[in-house]
Copies of this chain bind each other. A is one copy, B any other.
Amino acid sequence: MKDDKKVKEITSMDEDFARWYTDVVTKAELVGYTTVKGCMVIRPYGYAIWENIQKIMDGMFKETGHENVYMPMFIPESLLQKEKDHVEGFAPEVAWVTHGGNEKLEERLCVRPTSETLFCEHYANVVHSWRDLPKLYNQWCSVVRWEKTTRPFLRSREFLWQEGHTIHASAEEAKAETIKMLNVYAEFCEKYLAMPVVKGIKTEKERFAGAEETYTIEALMHDGKALQSGTSHYFGDGFARAFGIQFANKENKLQYPHQTSWGTTTRLIGAVIMTHGDDNGLVLPPAVAPIQLMVIPVAMHKEGVTEKATEIYNRLNKICRAKIDLSENSPGWKYAEYEMKGVPLRLEIGPRDIENNSCVIARRDTGEKITVLLDEVENKVLELLQDIRDNLFNRAKLRRDNMTYTAHNLEEFKNIADNKSGFIKAMWCGCRECEDKLKEYAGVTSRCIPFEQEHIEDTCVVCGKKADKMLYFGKAY
């Protein structure tokens, strides 16, 4: 049978997680490869997930007072160089435009890897008085970072993202914004992607180039690797000083404003795949699934089946993103196809169901099949979609908690890192040497200092000196 074959084409997770991932993104038609190294085609089914992410997130940004803008994709080399730490962080990995048409440019331009410098240049033009503040901007665009090894959604030379950029009169307001947007990201991931995240602050080593503080949400993938899923940066007035942005305060004194930036990317699609997916393919959280319910008529040749199935589809399409598959493929093939594509609900309806004024709804997350009276189908579908989100979230949270380990000393740490996959919680004194040593010794990096602190020991897991910070460590994507 064709459906068996379809599923067999996907490598099992346990056998080879990386190949499982590649199989899923290609067979479910999320991406296509190109001859442009490190760049991908985002195909309709993959792009529709991104559109759903954008729509929800954009609504959240606007509700919190942000406006969208568009900055140029090119940054002149001299502009990139204005903030010292920033250029050091990004210059080694940018793409350089050197020619326009047949002419060599006087100054080369980089394709934006991020747009702080462009926003700063713009702020310098439009921010003069306290009345001009705050500016709460966001931009949806693509950026380029010349990565050596690439994987669809997780790391590519070009990727789609949103970058928020805000500028405030006071440090307090900018700090509050940084945390507010981290919370927006966390809420988005947990509520809509059904993906639990750890909120925390990055160590200095892992900080964004030019930031005073970088906040992060970290998720744990099926294979026990951590995925940084969104970051929010507090810049202080460093960029303002570098770019000469000043405003007259209410007392008419010139001051430097304070800035933030925050971003999430198409990497979130990778996060969804690796958080919820299984050996049959994708499992999509209902909020971002391009198709939330697929109607599949059974025994279509029998009188009245297509009509009844179409009637149900028309009803359901009013309350969710429903589709109907009236193609000549067998029901079995269709079941496997939409299972692989992660469609949350499948509705089967055949002659016997029609006789009983019912249909069968199958859940993608549990495989459970439920007989539902046609009169109650709308309510049941809405209930199931919510229940799937809750179940996906709880399941992922349980798995993450089960894969989160505590190390009380260096030996234990090494032992966990060598034999387990997941987060490792441990105390840290705060010095770079200990952080570097853990990487060398155990092959893991610090993920964040979580907001929710736990007391494990009084001493650093590496040096044994006094430590009051508990960190999450892990192998990261």
- A residues within 8 Å of B by Cβ? 32-36, 39-44, 47-48, 50-51, 67-76, 79, 91-102, 109, 111, 118, 121-122, 125-126, 137, 141-142, 144, 146, 157-158, 160
State the 10 A-B residue pairs at the shortest beta-carbon distance, nearest first: A39-B72, A44-B67, A100-B146, A42-B70, A96-B99, A36-B72, A101-B146, A98-B98, A95-B97, A92-B101
Are B93 and A101 in touch, CB under 8 angstroms? yes
A109 to B118, CA, bound (A): 23
Contact for A32 among B34, B51, B122, CB less than 8 A: B122
Are A69 and B97 in touch, CB under 8 angstroms? no
Are A69 and B47 in touch, CB under 8 angstroms? yes
A75 to B37, CA, bound (A): 10
Are A97 and B100 in touch, CB under 8 angstroms? no
Give chain B nearest CB distance to A317 CB in angstroms.
Answer: 14
A40 to B73, CA, bound (A): 10
Are B109 and A71 in touch, CB under 8 angstroms? no
Are B137 and A72 in touch, CB under 8 angstroms? no
- Given the known inter-chain contacts A32-B126, A34-B118, A74-B158, please indicate yes or no for A69 contacting B41, CB distance below 8 A: yes
10 A-B pairs, CB-CB below 8 angstroms? A34-B72, A35-B121, A41-B70, A41-B122, A47-B68, A48-B68, A50-B70, A73-B73, A96-B98, A96-B99
Look across to chain B and name the residue whose beta carbon is closest to the beta carbon of A143: B73
Give chain B nearest CB distance to A386 CB in angstroms.
Answer: 26
Contact for A68 among B51, B91, B146, CB less than 8 A: B51
Which residues of chain B are within 8 angstroms of A160 by Cβ–Cβ distance? Answer: 70
Give chain B nearest CB distance to A187 CB in angstroms.
Answer: 23
**Which of A72, A101, A109 has the most chain B CB within a 10 Å cutoff?**
A72
Are A34 and B122 in touch, CB under 8 angstroms? yes
A-B contacts besides A100-B146, A141-B142, 14 pairs, CB < 8 Å: A32-B122, A34-B72, A34-B121, A34-B122, A35-B76, A41-B72, A41-B122, A44-B68, A94-B100, A95-B97, A95-B100, A96-B99, A96-B100, A97-B111
Are A70 and B97 in touch, CB under 8 angstroms? no
Are B92 and A69 in touch, CB under 8 angstroms? no
A47 to B50, CA, bound (A): 20
Contact for A39 among B48, B74, B126, B144, CB less than 8 A: B74
Which residues of chain B are within 8 angstroms of A72 by Cβ–Cβ distance? Answer: 34, 36, 39-41, 158
Are A137 and B96 in touch, CB under 8 angstroms? no
**Which of A34, A42, A68, A146 has the most chain B CB within a 10 Å cutoff?**
A34
A91 to B111, CA, bound (A): 19
- Given the known inter-chain contacts A94-B101, A121-B35, please indicate yes or no for A44 contacting B69, CB distance below 8 A: yes
Are A109 and B68 in touch, CB under 8 angstroms? no
Which residues of chain B are within 8 angstroms of A99 by Cβ–Cβ distance? Answer: 95-96, 98
Which residues of chain B are within 8 angstroms of A93 by Cβ–Cβ distance? Answer: 100-101
Give chain B nearest CB distance to A288 CB in angstroms.
Answer: 15
Look across to chain B and name the residue whose beta carbon is closest to the beta carbon of A67: B44
Which residues of chain B are within 8 angstroms of A71 by Cβ–Cβ distance? Answer: 34, 41
Give chain B nearest CB distance to A154 CB in angstroms.
Answer: 16
Look across to chain B and name the residue whose beta carbon is closest to the beta carbon of A148: B101
Which residues of chain B are within 8 angstroms of A95 by Cβ–Cβ distance? Answer: 74, 97, 99-100, 109
Look across to chain B and name the residue whose beta carbon is closest to the beta carbon of A144: B73
Look across to chain B and name the residue whose beta carbon is closest to the beta carbon of A327: B131
Give chain B nearest CB distance to A166 CB in angstroms.
Answer: 13
Are A76 and B36 in touch, CB under 8 angstroms? yes
Which residues of chain B are within 8 angstroms of A47 by Cβ–Cβ distance? Answer: 67-70
- Given the known inter-chain contacts A32-B122, A109-B36, A126-B32, please indicate yes or no for A142 contacting B41, CB distance below 8 A: no
Which residues of chain B are within 8 angstroms of A142 by Cβ–Cβ distance? Answer: 70, 73, 141
Which residues of chain B are within 8 angstroms of A79 by Cβ–Cβ distance? Answer: 35-36
Look across to chain B and name the residue whose beta carbon is closest to the beta carbon of A142: B73
Give chain B nearest CB distance to A162 CB in angstroms.
Answer: 13
Look across to chain B and name the residue whose beta carbon is closest to the beta carbon of A126: B32
**Which of A43, A95, A122 has the most chain B CB within a 10 Å cutoff?**
A95
A95 to B102, CA, bound (A): 9
Give chain B nearest CB distance to A73 CB in angstroms.
Answer: 6
